[in-house]
Structure 1
Amino acid sequence: MKDWKNQFIKFILKKKILIFGDFILKSNRKSPYFFNMALLSTGKDLKKLGKFYAQALINLNIKFDLLFGVAYKGIPILIATILALKNYFNLNIPYSFNRKEIKKYGEKGETIGHKIQGKIVLIDDIITAGTAIKNTIKIIHKNKNSQISNILVAIDRKEFGKNKLSAKKEIENKYLCQISSIIDINDIILYLKNKNIMKKKLKTLIRYQEKNCIL
């Protein structure tokens, strides 16, 4: 596993962004682990998070003209990533994000920021059922001069969707776009194995993976 992936897992464990226990997901599936990016609420944390996203965009060779944040959790991640691209890679990239509700006064509309055009990468925290991302894709598709080149999230849980495909694969097939992630559940399992830590949680995680995930 690449070092920047290891560093990211170390970071989210230290910050308790990745926690273990009994959780009910948006998909109503019971999970032994939970990923809560909302706990990163300081400038220092967001600066580090943005660098991980920026590194992923560069290291995975993702092509883009504009970054788009998926409301709500994707918005601070988006801003952190935009700043990291400028500070660490000298890339001055335009950005935009959506509102949850269409504004009917003032400047109006359902998006804020740069005009939506060119190759677009959606930025979000995680894919489980993919509901928020699917809604955002509909907004992007209203703009004729735009194309979703990729969707970048922190973690892909690699879980089955409705038709025994992963939620990721369902979105890729339906909307003809690629989804990338900094890490996935396989990376977490490998990290815990290599570090020889959290052995009981690791066993539970492996059982969950075998039952609910695309291997």
Structure 2
Amino acid sequence: MTPIDERFTEFLLESGALKFGDFTLKSGRQSPYFINAGVFNDGRKIAMFGAFYAEKITSAIAGGTLPSDIATIFGPAYKGIPLAVSTSIALTSMHGMEVGYTFDRKEKKDHGDGGILVGMPLKDGMKVLLVDDVMSAGTAVREAVPKLKSVANVDIVGCVISVDRMEKANGSEISAVKAIEEEFGFPVVSIVKVSEIFDAASRMVTVDGKPLLDDDIKTRANEYLAKYGA
């Protein structure tokens, strides 16, 4: 089977989620690539997105990075909601793992079922796996952990993201991923690293047979990672 980094890069390109060029990020940095998980807006795309997460999760379980008895997948609102649902469906239907899904409300509901969470109820000792799209500064994780802990004393066993940008955390020489791992003590697993994306894309061609990445983008990618990479 083709390695997951190549298949996932192809999927990102085909979906329009991955673009190469010149982009200004929220941080103000000029980046030679941009990833937008918001394009996974139909059943086929989000199902495939969740299937890649499920594949990576089962691989991490087999390798001992994640435990096999995960109870629920938590996705932070709003982009994390369809991701948590599609991942839990893929884990159940494709890998025989019966897991729940949970997500948060932006505002606490004081009527009906109430509370700040929707989906599988949390209980003390329950193993919870976080999912997010692209980790830049780790803000979503830092907001999610205390919110989950305020509901129950759950065991947060890790976080799975689509792309590790491999960039330094703010004011640090280590990556945002490494900073989260050190701060919370659980692993952050990525489907693909940005270096693997560029490596895979460098071997791809356009429909008319031209290299997908020209020399200018390759040069700027190397310069970007040399400047901001951890």
TM-score of the superposition, structure 2-length normalised?
Answer: 0.86
Matches within 5 A, 1:44-123: 44-61=44-61, 62-63=66-67, 64-117=70-123, 118-123=126-131
For residues 158 and 133 of structure 2, what CA distance do their matches in structure 1 show?
A: 14
Give the corresponding residue for 1:135.
143
Which residue of 156, 160, 173 maps to 1:152?
160
Q: Tell me the CA shift for residue 25 of structure 1.
A: 2.6
Q: Tell me the CA shift for residue 40 of structure 1.
A: 1.2
The answer on whether the counterparts of 1:27 and 1:128 sit within 8 Å (CA) in structure 2 is no
Q: How many residue pairs get matched?
A: 214
Please state if 1:206 is matched with 2:215.
no
Secondary structure at the aligned position of 1:210 is classed as helix
In the TM superposition, what whole-angstrom CA distance separates every residue of 1:117-145 from its partner, at most 9, and x where no partner exists?
A: 42211011110011122101111222443
Identical counterparts, % of pairs: 31
Secondary structure at the aligned position of 2:74 is classed as strand
Q: Tell me the CA shift for residue 203 of structure 1.
A: 2.0
In the TM superposition, what whole-angstrom CA distance separates every residue of 1:12-70 from its partner, at most 9, and x where no partner exists?
A: 01111011233333333332211111111111111111111110000121222221111
For residues 193 and 24 of structure 1, what CA distance do their matches in structure 2 show?
A: 22
Secondary structure at the aligned position of 2:9 is classed as helix
In the TM superposition, what whole-angstrom CA distance separates every residue of 1:50-106 from its partner, at most 9, and x where no partner exists?
A: 111110000121222221111111111111111111111122111111112222333
Larger radius of gyration: 2
Which stretches in structure 1 are left out of the alignment for 5+ residues? none
The answer on whether the counterparts of 2:5 and 2:200 sit within 8 Å (CA) in structure 1 is no
Q: Tell me the CA shift for residue 191 of structure 1.
A: 0.8
Give the corresponding residue for 1:19.
19
The answer on whether the counterparts of 2:122 and 2:152 sit within 8 Å (CA) in structure 1 is no
Cα RMSD for the two superposed structures: 1.8
Give the corresponding residue for 2:207.
none
The answer on whether the counterparts of 2:12 and 2:18 sit within 8 Å (CA) in structure 1 is yes
Task: Provide closer, same or farther for how the CA distance between residues 29 and 105 of structure 1 changes in structure 2, counting only shifts above 3 A.
Answer: farther
